[in-house]
Chains A and B, each alone.
Chain A
Amino acid sequence: MIENLPRFPGAIWLTLLIGLGLNNVPLPPEWSYWRPDFVVLSLIHWALCMRQNVNLFVAFFMGLLADTISYALLGQHALGYVLVTYFAVRLSLRMSAEAFLQQFALIFIVVGIFMLINLWIRGVTGNIGPGLLYWMPLLSSLLVWPIYHGILGYFYVPRKMV
């Protein structure tokens, strides 16, 4: 079994904050349709690599922070992030962390759930986005994942345990 450790204390927090920062880098509107949610990707990354250290409360806190920044309904992202973490941790047990195709399937499912929940909440509050363009981050998440996963690889130390 592989037991990974964070490279330094607070590494998870740092990556989540970086993800939140990337989420809020100003982009022209036609580009921002393609922006994946980097916090979701970070949460999936940690669920895959260190599922013992992933904390649902941290995910919830980051979600509230994201809600405040984007002035969304308070709890919209929080619920999404908590569910993302939960499902990613559950599903990560069924696969090996090295197989890319399996990772893609996992991301597709988890990010899909996240976006679906966001869409429902928006539908309920009467804030419906633009048609199919809404689902573009699902694709771009898959495209960005190998790079982002590679970069985040710096933040933990792989360790083999018997």
Chain B
Amino acid sequence: MAVDYRNPAATKPVRTGFAIVAYPLQRMVDAPFNLYTKVTGFFANQTHLASENSALKEQLRLYSVQYRDMQVLEQQNARLRELLKVDKRVGYTFTMAEVIAASDERGRQVVTLNKGSRDGVHEKQVVLAEGGNIYGQVVEVTPFSSKVMELTDRQHAIPVRNLRTGMRALANGTGKADILELKSIVAGSSSNVQDGDVFVSSGLDMLFPPDFPVAKVIPNGVQYISGDPFANISAKPMINFDNTREVLLLWRISPSPVEMLPAIPPAAPTAPAKPADIKNKKDEKTKKDEKPANKPTTASKPAGHPQ
């Protein structure tokens, strides 16, 4: 026990071994609930399903258009970053995973997912829940399953930023599923926190992606104790941890130039267009006779240029 407390890495193989043994048991315990959701899904109302389906389709159409716009923005962003000699923006890919078990230990908010190292899950991987809110991070991986520590675990902390003021803080878990605690915030005018303030991840830990919503200050969540230089702030996580059954595993991908190329074709003419554009302008000034001949080539450029 002492070894496990001081140096968790030493007992990792034991944990992994037992976790593999425990996995079938956890699946068996989960099986009735799984069956229940499947059966209720099977007997769902046809008209309800149809209306839901059409609504989802509509949403998908909307999202696909927005995604197209997003792609354009991404390309633009990549190009601008290249011009400014800034590092390329990190991209992400996602996979769905299912929560099959939750820890019953007091103060612990750890769940087991049905995806493991077989599916590419690795330790310290970020897990999101529905709506893109941060759920937690992976702490243990076996070939078939993985354990995720939620934000509300007593031993978990995440660096956050106040969306309104930009003030940075640490959000600590309390062991309760619906409260996060913000500590070491100096009570004063420079860092005033109000009820309803939203905290997003700041990304300073180089683990959680920045600007993902984490928690919202509850009514009367800011409390000052006289004599204490720090304010006690309670915030409610954006996710209902008790009800979440499906989560998103997040992989970081740094886009290499090779990957960027195929996405560019519609914008491809613009890259060489710039020097040509300048050249053309010079041409226009010097040789006014050839202006009509250049026109078709220049006319195509403004179309590609906004990208």
Interface residues of chain A, those whose CB is within 8 Å of chain B, are 17, 20-21, 23-29, 32, 35, 64-65, 67-76, 79, 121-122, 124-125, 127-130, 134
Interface residues of chain B, those whose CB is within 8 Å of chain A, are 1, 4-5, 11, 14-15, 18-19, 21-22, 25-26, 28-29, 33, 101-108, 110, 112, 139-140, 147, 149, 154-155, 175-177, 242
A146 vs B146: C-alpha distance in the bound complex, in angstroms? 37
Assess the B106–A127 pair: CB atoms within 8 A. Answer: yes
A23 vs B26: C-alpha distance in the bound complex, in angstroms? 11
A32 with B104, Cβ < 8 A, contacts A24-B26, A25-B29, A75-B1 known: yes
Assess the A134–B106 pair: CB atoms within 8 A. Answer: yes
Assess the B108–A71 pair: CB atoms within 8 A. Answer: yes
Assess the A128–B18 pair: CB atoms within 8 A. Answer: no
- Among A20, A23, A64, max chain B CB count under 10 A is at A64
Assess the A21–B29 pair: CB atoms within 8 A. Answer: yes
- Among A17, A21, A26, max chain B CB count under 10 A is at A26
Chain A: minimal CB distance from B36 (Å): 12
Task: Note all chain B residues with C-beta closer than 8 A to A130.
Answer: 106
A65 with B21, Cβ < 8 A, contacts A76-B1, A122-B106 known: yes
A24 vs B15: C-alpha distance in the bound complex, in angstroms? 17
Picked from A20, A26, A73, the residue with its CB within 8 Å of the CB of B5 is A73
A69 with B107, Cβ < 8 A, contacts A29-B177, A29-B242 known: no
23 inter-chain pairs at a CB distance below 8 angstroms, sorted by A residue, are A24-B25, A26-B101, A26-B102, A27-B104, A35-B104, A64-B18, A65-B21, A65-B22, A65-B25, A69-B101, A69-B103, A71-B140, A72-B108, A74-B1, A74-B4, A75-B1, A76-B1, A79-B1, A121-B1, A125-B5, A127-B175, A128-B107, A130-B106
Assess the B107–A129 pair: CB atoms within 8 A. Answer: yes
- Among B1, B107, B175, max chain A CB count under 10 A is at B1
